[in-house]
Structure 1
């Protein structure tokens, strides 16, 4: 995984009351869709192409039932994001603990999902005692750790990230404790130990910033080439793919192909594509294009076996904590709504073109208020060239609010979730057209934080109040 990542972890068949909140400057992103994948998951679409599409996860997220429902249904593969790492599995020398890792493996197995093991040897997230092992003993300690963990999960995993992030950006070896005390041979020795412990699991080298051709990927390429020539058991290369919107390497497909030509598989193991915040329609569109391009690059190479998101929702993304001012890196937003990136991935996996893109916006303002109640008006607008033939606005009521009635729209309330659909006479909006609906509420006139507008399927997309 990515070197700055903080602790985180196969399926077959969530101002002022009078302020105006305008979506036109915010998240009104165009969301490409294709009717062919409307009821099909990304995992199923990928399997139809002979690939998997997966997500990483971590134990602290599992109590979130909405999260785990999507995790268990949308993906065909799961990566254990953190709790197979050395600090968790062998916290003191010779004492092994797989309790946390087993929780995720058990969950994946119960959902019929395949599991990727991550990771056996890495310079980060090591227990302190590893650094104190004398140089003459570390090779045997490393072998023992690999043997014990790989043997424990034998027959239950499809891949192991055997060694993670062993190279610097210039292609030199990272001066980890293993490099310093064992030397260049430690990577080959790690792979040999893993193969001895499980003859069937696929063994991978995994790293970041090796997606494009350059000094770092060249160094990994030469290592893999050497391993294949010497009979060192390596089955694949994991390209983490922590990318930036607008900066997907132009040589991505070419690079995947050159590794495949060495006789190894390639997996995109930790995909996310971050942007500078705040989100906008233009940034979402750029990100969607990039996600589609990454999926297409993988599909273009027969030995690119699958894609794994580094978790699937912005709610649990590692990016904002490491890159201040950046985020919104994943295909689901923090409220589990599918972003344009999701539909671009689906379109790439179907091999089709995205459907015509539409946009609608929902602009909210309070029109009057009194003690214990208020009225509000929502302007629904079309910001795209294609007509909108219908719209739906949804939001979650702020604490203490309720809605008693609405006009110029069809109101449904379920708990704190409010849905207003167009009336028979105001669903069609031409380019730059708009309409309004209103409602009466009880409680304080706080502005909802998650008001979303979705056009009818012919021009489907969403705009979210931010």
Structure 2
């Protein structure tokens, strides 16, 4: 994970005026038809998100940055605002201002927030490393509890432990490992779950995208944690790539083997750097790498989303860390899209049922429509012996939007093979994201259907899915109908 150095629409304008303006700017693509953002396309392609890391300094000073950020992306991750050295620079003294700023922005723009990160060997204040080893566990648990509790209900997922492995698959000998051995990871996950049971909990690392000792070590760790009943929901694959090196071997298969353990997988920090100066040939190779990553995720049903580590070269961590390298992102430093953007948009469009990428336009100034199109057909009438019940609970409400969790319980005498939950909103609520289910909304009517990995619920068992939605006025809970197949 990078350190500090590493790290919609102009509806009021007539169509002819808009086209003329964009043409004058030289950014109008040949087709000026339906315009979809990366976030909308990812949502249509199986209910995924497409997110970006966010620089808080740019968030407060660069209006072009915030305009693209608020329109193109459906999820955000703080680059540094939630890391230990920022949040708790001195023991027991917490500063949540940077994280609060990003969470507020995300809520205004109906975006998911990935919390990053809670426990990491880097960007760690000196007081932690200087603690007697018998005090480290209490300090770690207190930090996790305070931060996760502060953001309870506002964070979709946390990177609980970041980069626990060396490249050879051995554990990093940081202060947490020295104090608690490998048990610090399970303890961190349990502590985070106790502070916010609704948040998804991830382990996150780099160079685990393809096969190798480090990927195997992470696989074995996740397998062990699952066997112990430790709360772990996902694995984050950072995916910091470089075109001068080969593409990770067997990435799709590797993502799939982790998903088979019963966890979500996500691309959490994607960028593809190159040796400068940038050339058109390098741009082509970079676009191919971005495309391969996108398609690997699209091919795995439990790959829930992709996050790029900054979307513009203007704020990339790469030049400050890798001398003579850069140009790693989807947009250049002048906010023009690159071939990599077109490649990703093409792949998402195809997966969503289209054939071509949306046109490239000048940065939009207001939020795009938020309701995603349906992605799959609902299941058919259930056979005898099956039944289900769905319960609904709002986990966070900020006045113009909210998140909610739906639990689906098998009330029948046989395993379910599929399930569908349907309801009609009492007000003007509109779903903008849903995870662990495929959804559609038409007017006030919503249907949510099972994914391949959570369709089978044993008698007496249950599964759950979450959603994020907007509203104005009242937010009365709907009445749910559940059908099992």
- TM-score of the pair, normalised by structure 1: 0.69
Q: Following superposition of structure 1 onto structure 2, how do residues 46-65 of structure 1 map, counting pairs within 5 Å?
A: 46-49=42-45, 50-62=47-59, 63-65=61-63
Whole-Å separation in 1 of the counterparts to 2:37 and 2:246: 27
Whole-Å separation in 2 of the counterparts to 1:38 and 1:312: 22
Instruction: Return closer, same or farther for 1:232/1:47 CA change in 2, 3 Å cut-off.
Output: same
Whole-Å separation in 2 of the counterparts to 1:5 and 1:209: 20
Counterpart of 2:182 (choices 156, 170, 184) is 184
Partner secondary structure for residue 349 of structure 1: helix
Whole-Å separation in 2 of the counterparts to 1:339 and 1:304: 25
Two-structure CA RMSD over aligned residues (Å):
2.0
Deviation at 1:181, TM superposition (A): 1.9
Deviates most, 183-192 or 36-45: 36-45
Partner secondary structure for residue 213 of structure 1: coil
Whole-Å separation in 1 of the counterparts to 2:211 and 2:33: 33
Q: Residue 37 of structure 1 contacts residue 346 of structure 1 at CA under 8 Å; is this kept in 2?
A: no
Deviation at 1:34, TM superposition (A): 9.3
Q: Following superposition of structure 1 onto structure 2, how do residues 36-115 of structure 1 map, counting pairs within 5 Å?
A: 39-49=35-45, 50-62=47-59, 63-115=61-113
Matched, 1:319 2:318: yes
Instruction: Return closer, same or farther for 1:36/1:196 CA change in 2, 3 Å cut-off.
Output: farther
Deviation at 1:108, TM superposition (A): 1.0
Mark the runs of 5 or more structure 1 residues left unpaired by the alignment: 9-30, 356-466
Q: Following superposition of structure 1 onto structure 2, how do residues 371-410 of structure 1 map, counting pairs within 5 Å?
A: none
Q: Deviations over 1:342-385 (max 9, x none)?
A: 00000000126668xxxxxxxxxxxxxxxxxxxxxxxxxxxxxx
Q: Residue 77 of structure 1 contacts residue 115 of structure 1 at CA under 8 Å; is this kept in 2?
A: yes
Deviation at 1:299, TM superposition (A): 0.4
Counterpart of 1:141 (choices 127, 139, 149) is 139
Deviates most, 102-111 or 300-309: 102-111
Q: Following superposition of structure 1 onto structure 2, how do residues 2-401 of structure 1 map, counting pairs within 5 Å?
A: 2=2, 6=5, 39-49=35-45, 50-62=47-59, 63-245=61-243, 247-351=246-350
Q: Residue 202 of structure 2 contacts residue 236 of structure 2 at CA under 8 Å; is this kept in 1?
A: yes
Instruction: Return closer, same or farther for 1:109/1:86 CA change in 2, 3 Å cut-off.
Output: same
Partner secondary structure for residue 6 of structure 1: coil
Partner secondary structure for residue 293 of structure 1: helix
Alignment match, 2:467:
none
Quick one: higher RCO (CA 8 Å, sep 6+), 1 or 2? 1
Whole-Å separation in 2 of the counterparts to 1:35 and 1:189: 53
Instruction: Return closer, same or farther for 1:207/1:279 CA change in 2, 3 Å cut-off.
Output: same
Q: Residue 119 of structure 1 contacts residue 160 of structure 1 at CA under 8 Å; is this kept in 2?
A: yes
Whole-Å separation in 2 of the counterparts to 1:34 and 1:223: 49
Whole-Å separation in 2 of the counterparts to 1:66 and 1:324: 27
Q: Deviations over 1:213-267 (max 9, x none)?
A: 1000100000000000110110000000001126221311011000000000001
Deviation at 1:135, TM superposition (A): 1.0
Instruction: Return closer, same or farther for 1:124/1:266 CA change in 2, 3 Å cut-off.
Output: same
Q: Deviations over 1:148-185 (max 9, x none)?
A: 10000000011000000010000000011111122111
Whole-Å separation in 1 of the counterparts to 2:121 and 2:32: 44
Deviation at 1:145, TM superposition (A): 0.6
Q: Deviations over 1:267-286 (max 9, x none)?
A: 10000011111111111111
Whole-Å separation in 2 of the counterparts to 1:114 and 1:34: 32
Mark the runs of 5 or more structure 2 residues left unpaired by the alignment: 8-26, 358-485
Whole-Å separation in 2 of the counterparts to 1:37 and 1:148: 48
Whole-Å separation in 1 of the counterparts to 2:30 and 2:74: 20
Whole-Å separation in 2 of the counterparts to 1:37 and 1:76: 22
Whole-Å separation in 2 of the counterparts to 1:105 and 1:58: 13
Whole-Å separation in 1 of the counterparts to 2:257 and 2:32: 33
Structure with max Cα Rg = 1
Partner secondary structure for residue 117 of structure 2: strand
